Amino acid sequence: MILHSIKKETIYIAIKELNQEGYPIFTLCKFAGIATSSYYKWLNKTINLKRVYRLMKTSNLHAVIRKKKKKDLAISNNPTVKPLFHSDRGFQYTHKAFKAKLDKQEPVQSMSRVPRCIDNGPMEGFWGIIKSEMYYLNKFHTFEELKLAIDNYIKFYNEKSDVSIIA
């Protein structure tokens, strides 16, 4: 088959472009003789910064990789609030930067065993309800659309749903 002489990268690009024109990925991958899983792996590839850094170090290349600092708007917009932080994992408490942020904000901390997040159970249940009743039924194109839909659903849940009547 002629496709074996073409680089896989070229085949993946062709599949992506033909899929945008309406052809099904499964059929295109089958025709090209590649697994759909390898196509999706190529499609969702990310750069492993640790691997790049290690390769640069072994090649005696020097560079600094910096992460862009994000402002924590929740904390800056609500400086007097004492939030509840719950985790069923202990590694957050041992990460220096995360621990410093926790110490600065002085939240109420809650930790339970994996997978026994009793404190977090009601919130997990609520997010499960939001996902099944609102999120999975819609398609959101921007963060603002999603945020507005969540805000509207929370208002509905608190004021008009059968749950708020029972509570």
Regarding whether 55 and 89 lie in a shared domain, the answer is: no
| Number of domains the chain is built from | 3
pLDDT confidence bin for 164, thresholds 50/70/90: very low
3-state secondary structure 20-80: HCCCCHHHHHHHHCCCHHHHHHHHCCCCCHHHHHHHHHHCCCCCCCCCCCCCCHHHHHCCC
Regarding whether 78 and 54 lie in a shared domain, the answer is: no
In a domain, 116, yes or no: no
pTM: 0.34
Regarding whether 61 and 37 lie in a shared domain, the answer is: yes
> DSSP assignment of 109-158, as one string?
EEE--TT--TTTHHHHHHHHHHIIIIITT---SSHHHHHHHHHHHHHHHH
pLDDT confidence bin for 64, thresholds 50/70/90: low
Phi first, then psi: what are they for 111, rounded to 5°?
-140, 135
Regarding whether 61 and 96 lie in a shared domain, the answer is: no
Regarding whether 97 and 61 lie in a shared domain, the answer is: no
> Of 107, 106, 105, 114, whose CA–CA distance to 87 is shortest?
114
- pLDDT over threshold 90, residue 155: no
Domain end among 47, 66, 85: 66
Regarding whether 60 and 1 lie in a shared domain, the answer is: yes
pLDDT tens column, 3-57: 555 678 888 888 889 988 888 888 998 998 888 888 888 887 767 777 777 888 8
Regarding whether 59 and 8 lie in a shared domain, the answer is: yes
Regarding whether 57 and 2 lie in a shared domain, the answer is: yes
In a domain, 36, yes or no: yes
Regarding whether 50 and 6 lie in a shared domain, the answer is: yes
Domain residue limits at 158: 121-166
Rounded average pLDDT over 98-127:
71
